[in-house]
Amino acid sequence: MRKIIVILVVVFLVALMALPVSAQGNGPAQLIKAGWLCLSFPSLGGVYCMPPGAFVSSETVTARVFDTLDPNASDAPYIGTALFVRADLYNGQPCPQQGLDQYIPLDFTGDGVMDYFGCWRR
């Protein structure tokens, strides 16, 4: 049953990612107005936007990625998605979109403990 719920959540997130950002522009600013969390990651080269409540006990999170370092940009090229897997569920699996490199460890809280591992899906 839990596996079915996880699959449904992943399918829902993928479907959500297919929705258009906004008729008034393409950028993280529109998503922030809609309640999304958009964070700039200079080391990863972009702004990553996650849907409202994405990190509340989520096993995986799909983020929209924009080619800008300004989360308030109203017009920024959309360059793809990234998949974040909760750290306790990551088992060293390769990221096929990155040439089978391992996922990138991410510390979202700044406490030195990896919270999620990320994989580019451009």
pTM: 0.70
Measured CA to CA, the distance from residue 102 to residue 56 in angstroms comes to 24
Residue of 81, 69, 71 lying closest to 18 (CA atoms): 81
Measured CA to CA, the distance from residue 32 to residue 30 in angstroms comes to 5
Q: Residue 38 pairs with which residues in a beta bridge?
A: 49
Which tokens is 63 given?
């983020």
Q: E strand or H helix at 116, and its extent?
A: strand 116-121
Quick: pLDDT tens for 36-46.
999 998 877 89
Quick: pLDDT tens for 7-25.
333 333 333 444 444 434 6
